[in-house]
Structure 1
Amino acid sequence: MLVSALLTSLGINSGLCLLFFTLYSILRKQPINYEVYIPRLLAEGSSRRRSRFNLERLIPSPGWVRRAWKLTEDDLLESSGLDAVVFMRIITFSLKIFLFAGIIGIFVILPVNCKGTELHEIDFADFSNNSLDVFTISNVNSGSKWLWIHFSAVYLVTGFVCYLLYYEYSYISSKRIAYFYSSKPQPHQFTILVRSIPVPAGSTVCDSVESFFKEYHPSTYLSHMVIRRTSKLRSLINDATKLYKRLSQLQSDPNQEKHKRVKLFGEKVDLVDHYEKQLEDIEENLRMEQSEVSLDGDEVRAAFVSFKSRYGAAIACHIQQSVNPTNWIAEQAPEPHDVYWPFFSSSFMRRWISKLVVIVACILLTILFIVPVVIVQGLTNLSQLEIWFPFLKSILTITFVSQVITGYLPSLILLLFLKIVPPIMVFLSSIQGYISHSDIDKSACNKVLWFTVWNIFFATVFSGSILYQINIILDPKSIPSRLAVAVPAQASFFIAYVVTSGWTSTSSELFRIIPFICSMIRRPFSKTTDDDFEVPSIKYYSDIPRILLFGLLGITYFFLAPLILPFLLIYLCLAYIIYRNQFINVYEPKYETAGKFWPIVHNSTIFSLVLMHAIAVGIFTLKKLSLASTLIFPLPVLTLLFNEYCRKRFLPNFIAYSAEVLIKKDRADENDATMGEFFDELTTAYQDPALKPVRYTSNGDNLNSPLISSPERR
C-alpha cells in the first residue's frame, strides 16, 4: 500500500469521525432524541424532555467531553458496577502499553527502519508515492547491527507488559474482594444451582432436594426452588405483551375513532374490542397453563438451593455431594435477573448435542469467513485486481479511485462482514447450555475474540503472503525471504483497519447510528414517552474482543512497523472518552460478574506476547542475525512461567471467594436487622418469571397500569 492510499483512508475516516462528533453534539440536545442518546438519564429521572425552543440546542458543544473526562473510577463503580470499571481499565491498560511502546517505536525504531536500504530509499520529494514497506523492519539490511535495537525493544516491551499485567491482575483482584465486602446481601451469594438430581420411584424432584439437603446440610440449608419447563408460558406472555403494546397505541391515538370499524378477516370489527377479547383469551390460557405446569409435576431435574450463610453455600457448591459424581452437580447460582431460563427446558442429551453443533458451527463459520478475507486482500493488490477484473483496468488507473480501493474499501468491507459475527456467537453460546446471560456473554466474548484473531490476523497475513503469490509455491527456496517481507508488510493493511474499525466504528458508537435510524422510523407510528423505551446495556462480547484484537496488532507489530502505534493511541483515546460518556448517559448494567472478564484480557495479552516472540525469532533468523534469534528463545518461556504464576496467584479469586472472605462477610451480617426480611425474600427470589402471578385488565381508561404486573416482593 502506498502512503497516498493510507492518507486517503485517513482523510475519509477523520471526516466521518468529525461528522459523527458534530451530529452527536447537536442531536443529543434535541428532546425528541433523548431515548437514543440519554436513555439511562431518562429512566433514572435525571433528565426530562423540554419542549421550549432554545437556540443553543443547534450549536455543537464539547461539554459532554468534559463531563466524561471528570468521571472518577468511584463514580463509575457506584453507577455501573465493577464490570464497567474493568472495561475502562482494559482501555487504560492498553493506553499505557502503547504509550510506552510508541515512544520506543516512533522515536527509535522507525528512524532505524527508514535508514535501511533493503527495499529502497525513501523519496522525500515524492513522499506520498512511497510504499509503507519502507517504514517497516523489512527495509533494514540483513545482518545489520541496527537490528539489535529491535531485539532490545522486544525485551523492554515484554517486561513492561508483564509488569502491567501483574499490577492490573492484583488491583482488579483486590477491587473484586472490596466490592464483595461493600455489597448488600444478594440472593446469588447464598444460592447454588444443583443439576442431575436423582429421583427415586414414587418421589418428586422437590422431595428429593428437600430430603437430601436436610440430611447432609441440616445447619445451613434454607429453602429450594425446583425448575419447571415453562417455554409455552413464556411464549404466551410474549404474545400478550406484544398485544398489549398494540392495544395501548390504539387507545392513546387521538384519532382512535378511525379504528372503531375496520374490516378484518372479511367483516367490520372494533379493533379495540377485538384486541381486548384476544387478551382475555390469552389470560385464560395462561392461567390454565400455569396450573398445569405447577400441578402435573413437569419438573426439570434441577433446582436452586439457598442456604443461611454464604459459607454454607460455598461448601455445598465446591464439595462433591454424592458418591456418584454425575449426580447432584452443583455450581454457583447467577443473580436472579441474570438467569437464562430457556436453558432449563433442555434435556441433558439436547445440551450435549448442542455443544457438538456449536463446535462444528464455529469451525464452519471460521472457514467460510476466509472468503471475504481473500476478497479484501485482493482489493489491496491492484495488479491482482486487474487480472481478476480486466474491464476495470481503465478505472483503476485513476489515482483517487485506486487510493480509495486499496486504502479504505478493504477494511470497510471486512468491518461490515465482522458486524454479523457477535450476534451469531451469542446465539451459538445461548444454545450451549449456559445458565446465565453473563456466562453466555463471556463465552461469546471468547468466541468472537479467537474468531477475529484467526480471521483478521492470521488469515490476512497468510492470504497476503501466500494466496496471492502463487509463484512462492513454485519456488520453495524463496519462501523464507518472501515471508520476511510479507509479514511486516501487512501492517499497512492493519493500519487502515485500525483507522476504519477503530476510529470510525468507535465514533459511530457515540452517534448510535442504528438506534437513531430505528427511532426515526418508529417515531411517526408511535407516541414515545419517558417510560416507553428500554435502556440498553453495553455489549462486552463485541467491544472487548475489538480492543484485544488491536492490542494484539500493536504488540505484534510495534517492532516490525511502529507506524501503527500512533493510530492505535488515537483509537484508545477516542474509546476512553466515548465509552465513559456512554456509561453516564446510555448504558445500564444488565448483570454484574465482578470483573470476571479480566482473565480473558490477561490470557489474550499473554498470547499476543508469545506470538510476538515467535515472529521475532523468525524475523531475526531471516535477517541473518542468528544470535538474536537464539537469545529470544528464553523470552516466551519466561512469559509462560509468569502467566502460570498469575494463574496460581490471582485466578482462584475470580472463580470463587475464599473462606476467609465469606466468613468475614457472614459475621458482619449477623448484626444486620434486615437479614430476616432478606431470607424471607430469598425463598422466592429464583421463581421462574413465567410462573409468577400475572394480571390482565380490559379497562381501557387506565393506560398507565401495565397489563402484565410484576409480583410484589416479600
Structure 2
Amino acid sequence: MKIVALFTSAGINIGICAVLLSLYSILRKQPGNVNVYFGRRLASKRSRRTDLCLERFVPSPSWILKAWHTTEDELLAVGGLDAVVFIRIVVFSLRVFSIAAIICTVLVLPVNYYGQEGKHKDISFEPLEVFSIENVKEGSKWLWAHCLALYIITIAACALSYFEFKAITNLRLVHIIGSPPNPSHFAIVVRGIPWYPEVSYYETVRKFFSNYHESTYLSHQMIYKSGTVQKLKDDAELMYKSIKGSSFDQRCKPHLPQCFCGGPRNSFKMISNEIGSIHGRTAYDDVNIDERKKECAAAFVFFKTRYAALVASQILQTSNPMLWVTDRAPEPHDIYWSNLCIPYRQLWIRKIAILVASVVFMLMFLIPVTFVQGLTQLDHLQESLPFLKGILEKKYVGQIVTGYLPSVILILFLYVVPPTMMLFSAIEGSISRSRRKKSACYKVLFFLIWNVFFVNVFTGSVISQLSVFNRITNLPEQLAKEVPAQRYILRCKDDSLMGPPSFPYHTETPRILLFAFLGFTCSILAPLIIPFLLIYFFLGYLVYKNQLINVYVTKYDSGGEFWPIAHNTTVFALIFTQIVALGVFGMKRSTVASGFTVPLLILTILFHEYCRQRFLPIFKDNSTQVLIDMDRRDEHAGKMEEIYDQLHAAYCQFTSATPDSDFSTNTRGQDLEGSNQVSETSETGNPQPKR
C-alpha cells in the first residue's frame, strides 16, 4: 500500500466522522429525539424541549464544549466510578501515545525513511514500507534509536499506568467509604446447600448459620425458581388446585376464557386471587404445601456487621468445598437472578463448555478475517479473481479497496461478537450483571486481539506462505517479518452515536484497549499509525464523555473494576512489543539493541508483578479496616436497625428484578440498561420497592 492510499482511507474515515458528528449535533436538538439523546436528564427530570427554530437545523459545537469542560467530579456524580475509570482509560491512552508520537517523530521516522541508500521519489507515492523499520538495512548502527524509543515509551506507559492505578485505587476506597450503607456489604450468597428429605432448604440454612455463626447471623432469604415459564407454571398450578379443591361457582366461569384467549399477562394470578376470595381464604395458602419444590439450593444470608459478612464470604464453611459455597452478594440492582439457581456442581462444566464454544467461535471467524486480509493485497486478489483485474487497476478503486473496504467489512462482521460473548458469559453462570459484563469484556478483548491482530497479521502471509506456524520457536522472528508489513486502517466513528442509550462497557472497553494494543505494537515498527490513534482517542474522549453526561444512567457500579483489565492489557501489549522488537533486532543483526531489550522485558514483568501485589487485592476484596470503621460509624450513629430493616426489601426476588431481562432503570435515577424509556421500573418492568 502506498502512503496516498493510507491518507485516502484516513480522509474518508475522517470525513464520515465529521458528517456524523454534524448530524448528531442536529438530531440531538430535535424534540422527538429527547428520549434518545437525553435519557439521563429525563431520568433526573432536568431536560427541556427546544422550540421550532432555525438553530435546531444548524450544527453547533456546544455539546463538545460542554463535554470538554465537565470535570471528573461532575462525571463521578452523574455516571459513577465506572464512567470515570472508562474516561481515564481514554485519557491514559492519549497521554501515552502523545509521548510516543513525539519520540517516534524525532527518532524513529527519520531513521526508517533514510534507512536504505538510494533516491527517494515523491513522498506521497512512497510505499509505506519506507516509513517502517523494514526499510532499515541489516547491521545499521541507527537501530539504537528504535531501542531508545522503546525504552522511553515503556517507561512512560509504566509510570502513567502506576499513577493511574494508584489514583483509581484511592477513588475506589472513597467510593466504598463515602457511599450510603450498601445492603451487599451485609449479605453473602450461599450455594450448594445440601438436600435433606425431611427438612426444607430454608430450615437447613437457618440451622447451619445459627449453629456456626451464632453471634453474627441475622437472617436469610431463600432464592426460588423464577422466570416467565416458571411463573406461568406456578399460576397454572395455583388455579388448578383452587378449582379442584372447591365447588366451582358460576360466577367464576366468565373469567375462564381470559386464560387462553389473549387476556392480560397476569390473568392466571388474577383469577386465582378471585377464587381464593370467594372461599374466604388466600389462594397462596395451598402453594405453601409445595413451597419446597420451588426452592433453589441457594440463599442470601444476612449478618449483623459488614466484617462478619466479609469473613463468612471468604472462609471455607465445611470440609467439602462443593457444599455451602459462599461468595459476596452483588448489589440488589446488580443481581442476575436466573443464574442463582444454577447448581454449583454444574458451574465448572459450563465454564469448560463456554471455553470450547469461544474457541470454536474464534476459529470460525477466521473465514471473514482471511477474506478481509486478502482485500489489502491487490496482486493476490487479482490472481484469485481475474475478472476484477480491469476494475482494480484503476487508481482510486484500488485505493478504496485496499484502504477502506477491508475495515468496513471487518466492522460489519465484528457486530455479532459482543452479543455472542455476552450470551456466553450469561450461560457461564455469573451471578451479577457487572461480573457478566466483566467476563464478556475479557472475552471480547481476547477475541479482538486474536482475530483483528494476530490472525490479521498471519493471514496476510498465509495467502503467500501457508507454513507460517511450522516452527513455534521462530515466533518472534515470524512476527518481526509480518507485523511491519501489515497495515491497520482505523475508523474515527463511534458506534454509540446512533445506538440506544445504554453504555456497553464490555464492548467499548475492549475497543479502546485494542487500538492501544495496536499502537504499542506498531509504535517503533510502523509509527505512522500513531497520529490516527491520537485522533481516534481524542474524538472518543469527547463523544464518550458527552454520552455519559446526557444519555447513560448508571444503575449499579462495579467500583472501577475495569481498570485492572486495562492495566493488564497495557502490560501485555508492552511485553508483546518488546518480544517483536527483539525479533526485529535479531533479524537486523543488531546485537546491541537486542541485548538492551532483554533487561527491559524483565523489568516490565517485575513492574506488573509489583502492581498486581500492591493494588489488585483492593479490587477483589474489601479490607477489614475499612469495613470495621464503617460498622463502628453506623453503630455510633444508630443506623444499624434501619439497615437491618432494609435488607429483606432490598433482596426481594419477585419485586426487584426478573432473571431474563437486561433492560433496567433505577429509582435513584442512576442507570438505564438498554431502554429508551425512563420509568419507575426494575429490570423486569416490575415496580421497585421504595427505601
Mapping 1:228-627, distance limit 5 Å:
228-232=224-228, 236=232, 280-281=267-268, 283-284=270-271, 292=287, 295-297=290-292, 298-348=294-344, 350-469=346-465, 484-490=480-486, 493-494=487-488, 496=489, 498=490, 500=491, 503-504=492-493, 506=494, 508-510=495-497, 512=498, 514-515=499-500, 536-627=501-592
For residues 551 and 207 of structure 1, the distance between their equivalents in structure 2, rounded to whole angstroms, comes to 53
Partner of 1:33: 33
Q: Which runs of 5+ in 1 are unaligned?
A: 240-269, 516-535, 694-703
Residues 1:6 and 2:20 are matched in the alignment: no
For residues 323 and 636 of structure 1, the distance between their equivalents in structure 2, rounded to whole angstroms, comes to 43
For residues 11 and 377 of structure 1, the distance between their equivalents in structure 2, rounded to whole angstroms, comes to 21
Residues 1:122 and 2:123 are matched in the alignment: no
For residues 95 and 337 of structure 1, the distance between their equivalents in structure 2, rounded to whole angstroms, comes to 34
Residues 1:178 and 2:174 are matched in the alignment: yes
> Secondary structure, in 3 states, of the residue corresponding to 2:428?
coil
* Deviation of 1:351 (Å): 3.4
Partner of 1:246: none
For residues 286 and 80 of structure 2, the distance between their equivalents in structure 1, rounded to whole angstroms, comes to 39
Q: Among residues 603, 611, 614, which one is paired with 1:646 in the alignment? A: 611
For residues 432 and 467 of structure 1, the distance between their equivalents in structure 2, rounded to whole angstroms, comes to 36
* Deviation of 1:486 (Å): 3.1
TM-aligned CA distance change 1:291 to 1:666, over 3 Å: farther
Residue deviations 1:133-169 (CA, integer Å, cap 9, x gap): 1100111111111100001111121111111121111
Cα pair 1:193 1:330 within 8 Å, conserved: yes
For residues 548 and 80 of structure 1, the distance between their equivalents in structure 2, rounded to whole angstroms, comes to 21
For residues 537 and 633 of structure 1, the distance between their equivalents in structure 2, rounded to whole angstroms, comes to 44
Mapping 1:136-147, distance limit 5 Å:
136-147=132-143
**AA in 1 matched with 2:183:** P
Residue deviations 1:667-711 (CA, integer Å, cap 9, x gap): 111233444222101123212126999xxxxxxxxxx99997626
Cα pair 2:655 2:686 within 8 Å, conserved: no
Cα pair 2:107 2:146 within 8 Å, conserved: no
TM-aligned CA distance change 1:348 to 1:483, over 3 Å: closer
Partner of 1:46: 46
* Deviation of 1:319 (Å): 1.7
Which deviates further from its counterpart, 598-607 or 198-207?
198-207
Residue deviations 1:624-662 (CA, integer Å, cap 9, x gap): 102321221122222111111111111111111111111
Residue deviations 1:209-250 (CA, integer Å, cap 9, x gap): 11121222222211111111112466659x9xxxxxxxxxxx
Mapping 1:616-695, distance limit 5 Å:
616-689=581-654
TM-aligned CA distance change 1:689 to 1:449, over 3 Å: same
> Secondary structure, in 3 states, of the residue corresponding to 2:637?
coil
For residues 158 and 44 of structure 1, the distance between their equivalents in structure 2, rounded to whole angstroms, comes to 44
Residue deviations 1:551-591 (CA, integer Å, cap 9, x gap): 11111111111111111111110011111100111111132
TM-aligned CA distance change 1:235 to 1:384, over 3 Å: farther
**AA in 2 matched with 1:35:** N
TM-aligned CA distance change 1:330 to 1:380, over 3 Å: same
Q: How many pairs does the alignment contain? A: 638
* Deviation of 1:385 (Å): 0.6
TM-aligned CA distance change 1:299 to 1:484, over 3 Å: closer
**AA in 2 matched with 1:60:** P
For residues 573 and 281 of structure 1, the distance between their equivalents in structure 2, rounded to whole angstroms, comes to 55
Residues 1:79 and 2:75 are matched in the alignment: no
Partner of 1:21: 21
For normalisation by structure 2, the TM-score amounts to: 0.87
* Deviation of 1:121 (Å): 4.8
TM-aligned CA distance change 1:276 to 1:323, over 3 Å: closer
Partner of 1:253: none
Q: Which runs of 5+ in 2 are unaligned?
A: 236-256, 274-281, 659-678
TM-aligned CA distance change 1:444 to 1:479, over 3 Å: closer
Note the aligned Cα RMSD (angstroms): 3.0
Cα pair 1:138 1:484 within 8 Å, conserved: no
**Structure 1 vs Structure 2: percent identity of aligned residues?**
45
For normalisation by structure 1, the TM-score amounts to: 0.84
Cα pair 2:656 2:689 within 8 Å, conserved: no
TM-aligned CA distance change 1:635 to 1:711, over 3 Å: closer
> Secondary structure, in 3 states, of the residue corresponding to 1:431?
helix
> Secondary structure, in 3 states, of the residue corresponding to 1:331?
strand
* Deviation of 1:537 (Å): 2.8
* Deviation of 1:190 (Å): 0.9
* Deviation of 1:388 (Å): 0.9
TM-aligned CA distance change 1:223 to 1:488, over 3 Å: same
Partner of 1:60: 59
**AA in 1 matched with 2:586:** T
> Secondary structure, in 3 states, of the residue corresponding to 1:345?
coil
For residues 294 and 4 of structure 1, the distance between their equivalents in structure 2, rounded to whole angstroms, comes to 77
Partner of 2:662: none
Cα pair 2:634 2:640 within 8 Å, conserved: yes
TM-aligned CA distance change 1:47 to 1:485, over 3 Å: same
**AA in 2 matched with 1:548:** L
TM-aligned CA distance change 1:202 to 1:632, over 3 Å: same
